[in-house]
Amino acid sequence: MTHAVRVENLRVTLNGKPVLKGVNLSVPEGSVTVVLGPSGVGKSTLLRTINRLIDLIPGARVEGRVEVLGMDAYATDPYELRRRVGMVFQTPNPFPHLSIYGNVALAAKVSGAAKSKRELSRIVEWALRKAMLWDEVKGRLNDPPTRLSGGQQQRLCLARALAMRPKVLLLDEPTANIDVSNTKLIEDALRGLVRELGMTVILVTHMPDQALRVGDYVAVMYDGKVVEFGRSDEVSSNPKHPFTRNVFAGKLA
């Protein structure tokens, strides 16, 4: 089995405060891996080391090795890395000055995934379909994203990430602020991406039931480390680490 992302002994301090204290994680290619843990444990920080968004934080220090698609993430050009790794954030953040079409198109243009105008509209439609949003917006592609509901905006952000044709997709608690029906749509979309395109999806959440619904693999995080990793059905039914037991105890009432 190949691993799309490999994290070895990753330590991250933010302004002197240690957040990740030696994370080891190997994410299998072509699957959904859920990173599960309570708030503040470092899940978002871990995600941001994979696409080097952590470079944005001035007080951040990163030690250890992060390997993405065979490349050392911290030895490559970050822009090359980021065009292969899409990201969806916790709060939807569509660009307010661009239309629905424009939001998705920008990602395709900037990452170089689209070479011509015709190709561009093909990719935009493809991305919106894969994000389960096409039917709802196909008649109003020139509308500003503010006219969409929160759940629709989040699917738009998913489409935007997909327009880069990434091999890896990172999602930081994408359904935390979304209603149930939109959550289901996004989770269906993710499973479709893995099944049809062999994409590697890494989803961060604090909800154990979401981990079991969506995840092929689960990595449980506690106190800045990954304390348990395995297939989701095994981890939930036979948890080895005491923390994991607590996490799934509520689930398996």
* Minimum distance of another protein from residue 49's CB (angstroms): 14
* Minimum distance of another protein from residue 82's CB (angstroms): 4
Residue number, 107 or 226, with CB nearest to another protein:
107
DSSP for 121-169, written as a single string:
HHHHHHHHHHTT-HHHHTT-TTS-GGGS-HHHHHHHHHHHHHTT--SEE
CA distance 78 to 86: 13
Give the three-class secondary structure for 253: coil
* Minimum distance of another protein from residue 238's CB (angstroms): 36
β 3-14/85-88 pair status:
unpaired
Give the three-class secondary structure for 45: helix
* Minimum distance of another protein from residue 182's CB (angstroms): 19
Residue number, 17 or 97, with CB nearest to another protein:
97
Residue number, 24 or 111, with CB nearest to another protein:
111
Residue number, 44 or 205, with CB nearest to another protein:
44
CA distance 193 to 163: 13
Task: Give the residues lining the site for another protein (CB under 8 A).
Answer: 51, 53, 56, 58, 79-80, 82-83, 86-87, 89, 91, 93-97, 106-107, 110-113, 115, 157, 160-161, 163-165, 197-198
Residue number, 173 or 228, with CB nearest to another protein:
173
Closest to 37 measured CA to CA, from 24, 29, 46, 27: 46
Contact of 191 with 199, CB cutoff 8 Å: no
* Minimum distance of another protein from residue 97's CB (angstroms): 5
* Bridge partners, residue 7, by sequence: 25, 66
